[in-house]
Amino acid sequence: MAAVRVVSLVPSLTEAVAVSAPGALVGATEWCSHPEDLDVVRVGGTKNPDVRRIIGLAPDLVIANEEENRAPDLAALRAAGLQVLVTEVRDLPGAFRELTRVLAACGAGRPGWLAQAETAWDQLPEQAARLRAVVPIWRRPWMVLGRDTFAGDLLWRLGVDNAYATHAERYPRIPIEDLRAVSPDVMVLPDEPYRFTREDGPEEFTAPSALVSGRHLTWYGPSLAQAPAVLGEALRAACR
């Protein structure tokens, strides 16, 4: 039976459920910023949710992610008798599979934006030349995309090879001197989780910097339909 009351602990899934199953969401994290007019009970952060408040909402389903949420919090919710659906997303096909599973559990069926997103990624233009990139996601300390990441897979499909794609860790800490020594074709700097800006990040490197939307690079939801165009334009602008 489809869930009637849903709490989401994942910003991208919050947006997906909100636009696909209106009225189903009763709770979401403070980091759930889309849709911008979302009006539900806030239940803390992704890493520190208010378990008691979630239990008090009496949801039929709690949506979580194995990377974004902590196992002890999810275990506490299950111990309280709540059903918890945990997603695992490491690449674009996995995102489409998990979105289909989540939306079905929420009684949303298959929304039009999901088909549009699949079409947008299926019809990517052929890349004339591939770029080698370093993709920082944090500074102080510097952290980058490593192996087996959703964002890295999206960039690969757009013709960008992650210089740390074979690193042993998924989000390794790399000294700034080592990042500079890579000499990539482009630095890809998203505005989340760390908010890189023109004044904060590019000054550290000699390679051109592509300032990209973190929502389009790291979220799996309705933003996937526009992501190829948005990310592609940012990359082209940086490398002109």
Summarised one tens digit per residue, pLDDT across range 190-239 is 999 999 999 999 999 999 999 999 999 999 999 999 999 999 999 998 88
Which tokens sit at 55?
A: 């239990």
What is the predicted pLDDT for the residue at 128? 73
pLDDT band at 126 (very low <50, low <70, confident <90, very high): confident
- Find out if CATH 3.40.50.1980 is the number for domain 6-111: yes
Q: What is the pTM of this model?
A: 0.93
Residues 6 or more apart whose Cβ sits within 8 Å of residue 165: 145, 146, 147, 152, 156
Q: What are the backbone angles phi and psi of residue 49, rounded to the nearest 5°?
A: -65, 155
**Structural Rg of the chain based on CA atoms:** 18
For the chain, domain boundaries: 6-111, 128-239
pLDDT digits (tens, 9 = 90+) for 37-63: 999 999 999 999 999 999 999 999 999
What is the predicted pLDDT for the residue at 165? 97
What is the largest distance, in Å, between two alpha-carbon atoms of the chain? 55
For the residues 130-159, what does the mean pLDDT come to? 96
What is the predicted pLDDT for the residue at 2? 61
CB distance 26 to 57 below 8 Å: yes
- pLDDT over 70 for what percent of the chain? 99
| Shared fold status for 6-111 and 128-239 | yes
CA distance 173 to 230: 28
pLDDT band at 106 (very low <50, low <70, confident <90, very high): very high
**CATH topology (fold) of 128-239:** Rossmann fold (3.40.50)
What is the predicted pLDDT for the residue at 13? 97
What is the predicted pLDDT for the residue at 1? 56
Q: Mean pLDDT, the chain, as a whole number? A: 95
